[in-house]
Every structure is written in C-alpha cells, then in structure tokens.
A and B are shown apart, each in its own frame.
Chain A
C-alpha cells in the first residue's frame, strides 16, 4: 500500500517532465550474469555485491574504471609517517535520507565490519591493519596501523560507508580498547529493507526481490551532480542465451558478457558492444613441490621425478604455447596475450613486457636438455564454467604441448569441484585465472608466486608450492613500503624475476565485453563491474 501511494505521488509530480523527455532515457535496465547475494555492503566480498554496493554506499576512496584509486568521500589523504594516515573528508555530503555525513560514520563503519554474522566472505581484511582511529574534527580523520599498510587507501575503497545515525550508533568511539558504544550493529538481512540501506551513493535502494530484480532510484541529494538515471533495474539473467534474448527483445538495455559467437548478430541488429581489458590473467600452474620422490598427480613417464621443479621444463611449456593463436581463434578478440600477471599500465607493471614467443623448436631442445627427450605424460585440469572458454583454451594448450612430446589430456570440471580439488593439491598442472582486486601487481604476486605461508597469508593461491626466497624478500619489502615510487620499483623487480623463473605461466588477459542498445555509451571497467554510473545516453 505504502509503496503504491509513493509511486502515485512520484508519478503525478513530474508529469510535465515525462512528457518533455521520452521515458526510455530516464530508466535503465541491466542484465547481470550473477546476482548480488545481499545489499549489505560488508556481508559478502564478491564481484556482484561490490558492484551493487558502489551504487548505494561509497567508500572514502574509489577505484576508477582503470582501477586507479581516486577520491570519493575523502577529498584527499596523506601518509603522515609509515603507520599514520590522515584523510580529509568531503564537506556538504549527506546520506540519501538527508542526514549529514561526517567522521563518526567512518568510525561506525570500520567498527561494524567485523561484527557481521555468518559472513561467507568477510571484509575484515580491509580494516584489519587499523589499530587506532582519531577524529581531529568532523571532517578530518586519522588512522594508525599495525606496521606499514601502503594499501590502506586502496583497501578503504572496498568499504562502503554506512550511516551511524540510522542504526543508533552516533555515540561510537574508537578508544584504547577498540570500538566502544557501538550499540547493536545491523545484520545482513536488515539492509534488504530500503529504509535501512542508507548510503551516500548516487542511487538508493527502491526494492530488492531475490532472484528477480533489484530496483534503484536516483539519489536527489547526491553531492557530485544529479545522477543520470531516474530508475535503475538490475536483473540477474544467468543463462547467456536468455541474456542476449532479453537485450534483443528490448527487456533490458545493457547486458554483461554477451557470448562472442553472438557479436555479429547483435551488431547486425544495431546493438553496440564495448570491450575493455580486465585485471584478470589466465595462467597455468605446475606442481612445484620439491619433496623427494614427489610426482605431480597425472604426470607419467618421468621415472619418479618431478619435471616441473626444473626451470627448463617450465620454460619449454611456456614456449610451446601459441598465445596469439589462442587469443585470435579461441577467444575471438576477447583476450590479449600475456607476458605478465597484470596488464600495463596498472600499478607495478612494466611497459612493453615481452610475451613469451611461440617456439616449439626451442621447447623440444629445452626438454631434451632437462632429460626428457621423449617428453612425458600429463593431465591438465581446468574449470569448464568459470572463465571465458576455459575448457577450449585448456584443450588448445594440451594439443600444443603434445607437439613438443608432452602427451596431455584435459580434465575439465565445474568450478565448484575444480577449486575444491585444487585446494587439496590434486592436480599436476592446471589452468585458472586471477583478478587483481586492488589493481596492483602485488595482488597476483602475493597470491600466486609468494611461498605458501598460512600464518602470514602469503601464497594463499600458490597451490603449486613454488618457492623462491629472493622473490619473497622483494614482495615482503614492497608491501611494507609506503612510498609509491619505491614500492612500484620493487614490485616491478619481483615481477621481472617471477616471469624469468616461470613462477607462473601467464596465457592471456581477459577482455570483458558488454552489449547495449543503440543510444547508450558504456565505459568498460577493468574490474568487470557494471555500474549505472558508467552508462550514459550517447550524445
């Protein structure tokens, strides 16, 4: 009842406006590949959730379309020393319910993040380094950290600021022992109610029907100009055929990830396609476990040795792969051959990083030199529903390896099984992907290359158990260096060494496509998010 009444009121007011401009240009409907699992900005650290979050809740900083960290609710910030940061908050910002935003909301948010119950993937790591918060004045806040955290401004981009007042947390203080007077912080389900999902973002929540649609409406109080769309509808359409059909039939205006085989059809019907290089590298990992007598699972014909601990074998595999052919023939323009773990010009990458050349002759020579003139047998494992054409790429790699004498069979399976088995060290060689959420090469270096150490969190996805103390030392130094230039130099050095040692074999960077109706312009984002803020009527 209440909602209907509001709709009616809304509808009767701007009648003149509706007649003046066609209704189509005021509302936007987006077909998403997967649905956000909650509106709560701190519940589930997952692409679709973070993408929705950016519409409603803003962070102190934000990642722009190239994942450069830029100002948002903080107008600027500086590192006072290695462990102290001062953020100046933007003045005159109000939440969508009209209450003003100030430093108390920041403290409240940081205190609330660790209290989310049953979070399947927590945001705690983004605020974990913070050991003290001081409010200098309502628009100046100072953070102290345990040890240097150079990525603090980047981390804070992932933490959407919520309103302390809506949850009765105005009295919150960050004292000696941590958060005090937090009151009863909200739980995830609370945010599904539009009255509670109060942020400073350009859009506010209108309704949330799980499985069907999330409707957002323009935040008229937005501090950075009037948002383009009066109403934005986000609809999960998981099946790619159904998604394309929804676009073709005019049900939706923009869709994520149209399948490459439909590009011609879409263009022929006048639809447009935007493509952008993503932060995701598709790579091969090889079981590097060096324990005596360890033979990687699936590897045969090596006389009980592990061939992958020999850098010549790793190089032979890399040089046996024709990356140009994979990008051109299998990925159909949706891939760029990779010679690094993150595309240039993201932080820590090098300009003109060479892509390892396709050279089967050299590969065969390297294999012979390493003591495998007749090659060996291998099983290449891959997911078949996680990355673009993942299984086909694995098949192509297997055929290319067969040409240098490494008889390879592909074992492809659904993602949920694939990752569980990978985490149990059940593969000898596998294909997977890594997206650098921070937009910095430290992310793939820490996850894929650094020596596994559950205590420090290094090498969390380094299930190949590669270990190189020199690279570890460089990474460790880099992530404790607050000075950006010095850190970038260290990271570049670490990446150069990792690539020279074939610590991970990169195949290509994914290119993300969007398809949309004529009359729109979509700005591709490297983090693959689809934001209503990046969709404008074409002029």
Chain B
C-alpha cells in the first residue's frame, strides 16, 4: 500500500509540474499584456516602465523560474489588473460559483432522479418515451441558447425573475452567500436551471438505465414474490441500488461545473470564477489565468488521487497489480 501511495503521489506531482509548464507557455504565447493594459496614449518609455513593473521585460525562462519559485511558496502571482494576489481574487469568486454549482446539482437530482425512475419503470409507455426523448433536447441544446431563452421568457416577458447578476448576500461563517435571501435566490434560479438542464438529462438517462437493470435483478423478483408493495420495492430496493452510478457521475460533473460554468456565468453576468476567467483572458491578465488553471489542475489531480486511493483500499486487486508492476 505504501509503495502504491508514494507512486501515485509522485505521478500527481509530475502531472502538476508538466501542467504548470504547459499552462505557463500557452498563456505566454498569447498576445502582449502591455499593449492591452496600457492607455493607448502611452509612449514607449511608459510602455517599457509597465513591462518592467510587471516583470514582463525578463526572458521567459526567468519569468517561469520566478513563477515556479513563488508557486512553491503558495504564491501564484499578482494580478496585472487588480494588483492583488491572483489566488485571493479567484477565491473571492469561489463562493458564488460553488453556490451556483450546488443549487444546479440539487435541481438536477430533483428533476432527474424521479423522471429517470418513472421512465425506467415504464420504458415502453408514452410517459416513459416522452421523458426520454425530451432528455435528448436537454443534451443537445447549447447552454448559452437555453440561458438566453430563459432570460427572454422569465425576465423580459414575464418579469418574474431578474435577468442577470448576483443578488443580496448574507454572511454565513465568514462567507458571503446569496442562497438564504429571497433576492439572492431569485438571481440564482435561472443560471442554476440553465446549468441543471444538461445535468438532469444526464441523470435521467443514467437513472433510467439503472432502474431497468435493477428491476431485472433477482432480489427485486424475490421481493415481488414475497408480496412487498411495489411502492416499497421502488423506494427502498430500486432507488438505493440505481443511485450508485448516479452519484459517481454527478460527483465528477460537480468538478466540471465549478471549474467551467464559464458560458452560463457570462450569459447571466454572474460574478463567479468562470466569468473571472473569461474577463482575465480578454484582458490578458496572465497571473489570474495561470493561477486559475493551476487551481483547476490541482483540484482534479486531488480528486483523482483520492479516487485512486479509494479504489485501492476497496479492491485489493488494484494495489496488488500496481505493487508488482
């Protein structure tokens, strides 16, 4: 187990190092931040001064070296635009995105699981078929289009919900959350639905397949033979077993929802991390882009590491084969 652990951690570190190199190079290749940051009226001396101030006048390997050295001490650079720690600027936006992802996740479970189970129980009925074909729409409609349509319908035409932004926040344990005010929730709803639509279609399909599979299992047949009510069969035996793949997939999807809600956040001008990423790319705020991507890499590497370790703990075959090879 220890050998396995050390090897896995080593691999993770290697991935982070390689990604740091690639991300830094890729971001470095795009444009010249000074040309964007400086006022158009600036003359050459001022441009040179800006480049020097931001450390952009040094050769790339030196910039990379400084970046790595600082990163090892937990400092992912200082934003060109805000002149504050890049990590701090990103973390500031984290609660908004987490909240959005959480509400979207909740919605996709609440929508996806019941519909999926119904479709799985009666796969050939009209209801089952229409649920399944509707879920195809959820997959194939582009995110930004759904967002715009929701805005048009609920904000512009009906005027029930606000079209953009984040609502009032309250401080919960030092974090600003908007989930607990009516105003905040009303701002959260449309972007969360937009995000949730794709996820719930995914959940419907997995839940439907899972339900159909579980329904054919011996224990369901036995329960039925024992004379249990179909309500009890569905709610206790079927639900419990078909949820396993749903949870696995949603866990992975949560990660991507946090890191890449870019489109939804842009359409709704929602001040989350995704919008920060887009704004920073447009402004060539390299430290933010690099820090953001490094943070994402770090999160995914940690998730993968934990998953791998869990597998090894659960399944002895994994660690045996790893230890040998």
A residues neighboring B (CB under 8 Å): 35, 37-38, 43-46, 117-122, 124-125, 187-189, 209-213, 235-239, 241-242, 245-246, 248-251, 414-417, 419-420, 422-423, 434-435, 437, 443, 447, 454-458, 460-461
Closest to B43 in A: A457
Q: List 22 A-B contacts (CB under 8 A).
A: A117-B83, A119-B83, A120-B38, A120-B80, A121-B50, A122-B46, A209-B271, A211-B93, A211-B272, A212-B96, A242-B268, A248-B163, A251-B163, A414-B282, A420-B31, A434-B40, A435-B40, A437-B39, A443-B41, A454-B45, A457-B44, A460-B43
Q: Report Cα–Cα, A117/B82, bound state, in Å.
A: 11
A359 to B268, CA, bound (A): 47
- In the complex, whether B137 has a CB less than 8 A from a CB of chain A is no
- Closest-CB distance, B171 to chain A (whole angstroms): 9
**A118 contacts across to B, CB distance below 8 A:** 53-54, 78, 80, 83
CB-based contact A210/B92 at 8 Å: yes
In the complex, B175 has a CB within 8 A of chain A = no
Q: Verify B275–A211 contact, CB threshold 8 A.
A: yes
- C-alpha gap A535/B31 in the complex (Å): 38
Query: Cβ of A461: which chain B residues have Cβ within 8 Å of it?
Result: 40
Return chain B residues, CB-CB under 8 Å to A189: 83-84
Q: Does B49 make an interface contact (CB < 8 A)?
A: yes
Task: Report the minimal beta-carbon distance from A409 to chain B, rounded to whole angstroms.
Answer: 22
Rounded to whole Å, the gap between the CB of B218 and the closest CB of chain A is: 54
User: Chain A residue with minimal CB distance to B32?
Assistant: A420
Query: B31 touches which one: A35, A124, A188, A417 (CB < 8 A)?
Result: A417
4 A-B pairs with least C-beta separation: A457-B43, A211-B271, A454-B44, A420-B32
Contact B269 A416 (CB under 8 A): no
Task: Check B267 against A242 for contact (C-beta < 8 Å).
Answer: yes
B267 engages A239 (CB within 8 Å): yes
Bound-state Cα–Cα, A417 to B35, Å: 9
Given known A-B contacts A416-B282, A423-B32, A210 and B89 have beta carbons under 8 A apart: yes
For A249, the chain B residues whose CB sits under 8 A away are 151, 155-156, 159, 162-163
Query: In the complex, what distance in Å separates the CA atom of A99 from the CA atom of B96?
Result: 38
Which of A235, A242, A419, A456 is B36 in contact with, Cβ under 8 Å?
Answer: A419
Mark each residue of chain B from 79 to 96: 1 if its CB lies under 8 Å from any CB of chain A, else 0.
011111000010011001
Establish whether residues B268 and A120, one from each chain, have CB atoms under 8 Å apart when the complex forms. Answer: no
Question: Closest Cβ of chain B: how far from A528's Cβ, in Å?
Answer: 13
| Nearest CB of chain A from residue B4's CB, rounded to whole Å | 43
Question: Are B81 and A119 closer than 8 Å at their CB atoms?
Answer: no
Residues of B within 8 A of A250 (CB): 159
Across the interface, B279 reaches (CB within 8 A) one of A44, A46, A125, A238, namely A238
A251 touching B35, Cβ below 8 Å: no
Query: B residues 128-180 with Cβ under 8 Å of A?
Result: 148, 151-152, 155-156, 159, 162-166
Q: Nearest-CB distance from B317 to chain A (Å)?
A: 48
Least CB distance, A249 to chain B, in whole angstroms: 4
CB-CB under 8 A from B166, the residues of chain A are: 212
Give the number of residue pairs across the A-B interface with Cβ within 8 Å: 159
- Bound-complex Cα distance A120 to B285 (A): 10
**B residues bordering A, Cβ < 8 Å?**
30-32, 35-47, 49-50, 53-54, 78, 80-84, 89, 92-93, 96, 148, 151-152, 155-156, 159, 162-166, 266-269, 271-272, 275-276, 279, 282-284
A242 and B164 in contact (CB under 8 A), knowing A120-B80, A248-B156? Answer: yes
Docked-complex contact B42 and A125, CB < 8 angstroms: yes
Knowing that A211-B275, A251-B162 touch, tell me 13 more A-B residue pairs with CB under 8 angstroms: A37-B81, A37-B82, A118-B54, A119-B50, A119-B83, A121-B39, A210-B82, A210-B89, A245-B164, A249-B162, A249-B163, A437-B39, A457-B46
Distance in angstroms between the alpha carbons of A66 and B82 in the assembled complex: 31
Question: Which chain B residue shows the least CB distance to A213?
Answer: B165
What's the nearest-Cβ distance from chain A to residue B82, in Å?
6
List of A residues within 8 angstroms of B83 by Cβ = 38, 43, 117-120, 187-189
A44 with B81: CB separation less than 8 A: yes
In the complex, what distance in Å separates the CA atom of A45 from the CA atom of B43? 13
B43 touches A239 (CB 8 A): no
A457/B165 in contact, CB under 8 A = no
How far apart are A22's CB and chain B's nearest CB, in angstroms? 18
CB distance from A445 to the nearest CB of B (A): 12
How distant is A211 from chain B, measured CB to nearest CB, in Å? 3
A237 to B275, CA, bound (A): 11
* Residues in A neighbouring B279, C-beta threshold 8 A: 35, 211, 238
Please state if A447 and B41 are interface contacts (CB–CB under 8 Å): yes
Chain B residue contacts of A121, Cβ below 8 A: 37-39, 42, 46, 50
- B35→A242 contact, CB < 8 A: no
Nearest residue in B to A38 (C-beta to C-beta)? B82
Distance of B138 from chain A, by nearest CB (Å)? 22
- The distance from the CB of A414 to the nearest CB of chain B, in whole angstroms, is 8
Contact A245 B151 (CB under 8 A): yes
Nearest-Cβ distance from residue A271 to partner chain B, whole angstroms: 12
Minimum CB–CB distance from B142 to chain A (whole Å) comes to: 14
Residues on A with C-beta less than 8 A from B282 are 414-416
Once bound together, how far apart are the Cα atoms of A416 and B281, in whole Å?
9
List the A side residues contacting B35 at CB < 8 Å: 416, 419-420, 422-423
Most buried by B among A117, A212, A235, A250: A212
Q: CA of A246 to CA of B272 in the docked complex: distance in angstroms? A: 18
Indicate if the CB atoms of A120 and B54 lie closer than 8 Å.
yes
A118 to chain B minimum Cβ distance, whole angstroms, is 4
